[in-house]
Amino acid sequence: MAWSTRQLADLADTTVKTVRYYHRIGLLDEPARTSNGYKQYKPAHLVRLLQIKRMSNLGVSLAQIGAMGRANGKPDEAIRILDAELADTIERLRRIRAELAVILEHRAPLDTPPPFGPVADELGERGHALVTVLSQVFDEDALDDLRELISERDDYEEDFEALPEDADDATIGELAGRLAVAIRAHQDRFPWLSDPGSAAPRGKRFAEDVMGPAFAELFNRAQLKALTRAHALNQEFSSAAGTAATPGRPIRDVGRPLEDAAERC
């Protein structure tokens, strides 16, 4: 019994192109040919083709199939590796489904970083951009803390959002004082905010390099001045109260991206 390429493909419910591709990458042996050049596939070719199709449907890559060879024994190690990869894929898909459920529940934009779906309505355009950047900087626990803070509106926020580029020093100073009080309360509640680098898996320098340009892009000069002054006030407070193990360092760690952003403006 012998079959043509078309017949073999039909028997395996695949395509001639696929059969030829398997020949090209060495997964399927070339058959013998008749005197006039026609290929003659045997049952062994059909069995091999069905094996490849079955393993491929199970998620085994063609490279893995090739590495496993044609042995009819039990490829235990390859199966264990495949099982682990499939478990990772299932977990990734489970997380994606959970994220989509949050997005649907809160009608958040699809590109909203996962932790911030429940507060998407609170973000606004600038807030959305900011949390998108911060989601690449901080770990999951820190992002959960930020989401919690976003959900709790502070009395200074509207004034900060409305602060014009040309605000006078008195207005900036008054707002900075209110910001300082809020920032200090946030740092007492979530200590990592005093040293953001501690919650940045890719390190403090990376956090500063990302946050500085982001702040410069998202906040105007007056807003950056208010934030920088607020952190300076907290630095003075910490030094005066003797609460910082290394005077000024935690506040400087927070303020550095703000100072860099202010210099860019």
How does residue 237 score in pLDDT terms, banded at 50, 70 and 90?
Answer: confident
Query: For the segment 130-147, what is each residue's pLDDT rounded down to a tens digit?
Result: 999 999 999 999 999 999
Flag whether pLDDT at 261 surpasses 60.
Answer: no
Contact 184, 96 (CB under 8 A): no
Q: Is residue 129 part of a domain?
A: no
- Considering the domain architecture, whether residues 166 and 64 belong to the same structural domain is answered as no
**Segment 46-51 mean pLDDT:** 91
State percent of the chain over pLDDT 90.
45
- Per-residue model confidence (pLDDT) at position 76: 73
Residue 242 pLDDT: 57
Q: Is residue 64 part of a domain?
A: yes
| Distance, CA of 24 to CA of 46 (rounded, Å) | 17
Decide if 147 is inside a domain. no
Q: Residue 199: how many CA atoms within 13 Å on its side-chain side? A: 22
Q: Identify residue 220 by its one-letter amino acid code.
A: N
**Cα 62–chain centre separation:** 28
Query: At 39, phi and psi to the nearest 5?
Result: -70, 145
For residues 73 and 206, which has the higher predicted lDDT (pLDDT)?
206
Q: What is the pLDDT of residue 14?
A: 95
User: In which band, very low, low, confident or very high, does the pLDDT at 254 lie, cut at 50, 70 and 90?
Assistant: very low
- Residue 82 predicted with pLDDT over 50: yes
Q: Are 218 and 160 in contact (CB under 8 A)?
A: no
Give the range of the structural domain holding residue 245, as residue numbers without chain letter.
154-264
Please say if the pLDDT value at position 116 is more than 50. Answer: yes
Inter-CA distances, 208 with 44, 134, 200, Å: 62, 11, 10
Looking at residue 54, which CATH number applies to its domain? 1.10.1660.10
Within-domain flag for 224: yes
Q: What is the pLDDT at residue 147? A: 93
Q: Which of the two residues, 124 and 76, has the higher pLDDT score? A: 124
Q: What are phi and psi of 37, to 5 degrees?
A: 95, 0
CA dist 235 and 254 (Å) reads 10
- Is residue 34 assigned to a domain? yes
Domain count along the chain: 2
62/163 same-domain check? no
Taking residues 226-230, what's their average pLDDT?
A: 93
Structure confidence at residue 17 as a pLDDT band (50, 70, 90): very high
Instruction: State the maximum Cα–Cα separation within the chain, in Å, rounded to a whole number.
Output: 98
Say how far apart CA 112 and CA 130 lie, in whole Å: 11
Domain boundary pick from 68, 84, 119 = 68
Nearest-angstrom CA–CA distance, 140 and 254: 19
Mean pLDDT of 227-231: 92
Q: Binning pLDDT at 50, 70 and 90, where does residue 96 land?
A: confident
Mean pLDDT for 174-189 is 92
Global model pTM greater than 0.75? no
In a domain, 90, yes or no: no
Question: Does the residue 146 lie in any domain?
Answer: no
Evaluate if residue 57 carries a pLDDT over 70. yes
Lookup result for tokens 């900011």: 130
55 in a domain, yes or no? Answer: yes
DSSP letter for each residue of 46-87? HHHHHHHHHHHHTT--HHHHHHHTT--S--HHHHHHHHHHHH
Residue with tokens 């910490």, as numbered in its chain: 238
End-of-domain residue from the set 53, 68, 83 = 68
Checking if the pLDDT of 79 tops 80, the result is no
